[in-house]
Chains A and B, each alone.
Chain A
């Protein structure tokens, strides 16, 4: 079954879709306001719970239309990954980021994030 949901907050949009055990998140616009931090924190908790339910091997996060992300919003990735690190070995899924290499902040920021969590994060 293909299910989709979307969160919109000001100039930020996040879409979540799932098909069988595939979970895909798409972020777009500007992640730079306090309410986006709250929206992202809630989203990652929902994604984490759903990925565990589905026994998803990979969660894909598409950032290619995300124009800007503040460190407060970027920090929500780190908190999500800390929850993932606490999952049991057999339940741990991988996080695959799809990035726009022409955006310097994505290139450099995701490079640091993938080095930080190299066991679970890949960047394309």
Chain B
């Protein structure tokens, strides 16, 4: 098989890696680019909507917590397993990193996503805006798992993952 034929028959792994200035005005622009990019990969329109919500909320959190003048977004799609992985990197202050880790720990140890989301809604009735509602939305509404990985001493990747059905003709 020629190299060209081999490339054509290999699963098409759609990924993107984007670094941009941490501006809330750019978040919708990037979200819409992501949505258009993956619209060609998915047959599942609900899945595309879930990805749209996840990309927006993770980016908004990353932009709000950025301290180094950059926000990085990576998205990978495995067309065989139908797994999409959204990763944002930023370098938050120590206090904001602690809050983020605590929010994700609370979310991961909660047994019921909807009940957790309602608990966060109740907290948001009185508390000033934080990152907890966006993360709760990604987890409970969009159905993505969430975890973090440290990058060096002070960087943090927020990683969200879910299964979204892809187009067979893209994967084959």
Contact for A81 among B52, B53, B125, B137, CB less than 8 A? B125
Contacts A32-B27, A82-B126 given; indicate if A74 touches B137 (C-beta within 8 A): yes
How far is B121's CA from A109's CA once the two chains are assembled, in angstroms?
11
From A75, A81, A103, A115, residue with most partner B Cβ within 10 Å: A75
Interface of A, helix, strand, loop or mixed by DSSP: helix
- B154 interface residue, CB < 8 Å from A? no
- A90 interface residue, CB < 8 Å from B? no
- Which A residues, 96 to 111, have Cβ-Cβ distances below 8 Å to chain B? 102-105, 108-109
Q: Is the CB of A68 within 8 A of B56?
A: yes
- B93 interface residue, CB < 8 Å from A? no
Contact for A115 among B45, B53, B114, B141, CB less than 8 A? B114
Q: Is the CB of B49 within 8 A of A105?
A: yes
Q: Is the CB of B129 within 8 A of A72?
A: yes
Distance in angstroms from B124 CB to nearest chain A CB is: 5
Contact for B25 among A33, A104, A105, A112, CB less than 8 A? A33
Distance in angstroms from B84 CB to nearest chain A CB is: 15
Q: Is the CB of B141 within 8 A of A108?
A: yes
How far is B161's CA from A50's CA once the two chains are assembled, in angstroms?
44
Report the interface size for chain A: residues with CB under 8 A from the other chain. Answer: 25
Q: Is the CB of A70 within 8 A of B125?
A: no
Distance in angstroms from A120 CB to nearest chain B CB is: 13
- Which A residues, 57 to 97, have Cβ-Cβ distances below 8 Å to chain B? 68, 70-72, 74-75, 78-79, 81-82, 85
- B10 interface residue, CB < 8 Å from A? no
Q: Is the CB of B25 within 8 A of A71?
A: no
Distance in angstroms from A28 CB to nearest chain B CB is: 15
| A-B pairs with beta carbons under 8 Å apart, 19 shown | A30-B28, A32-B31, A68-B28, A68-B52, A68-B56, A70-B57, A70-B134, A71-B57, A71-B60, A71-B133, A72-B133, A75-B133, A78-B124, A79-B124, A105-B53, A108-B142, A112-B118, A112-B141, A115-B118
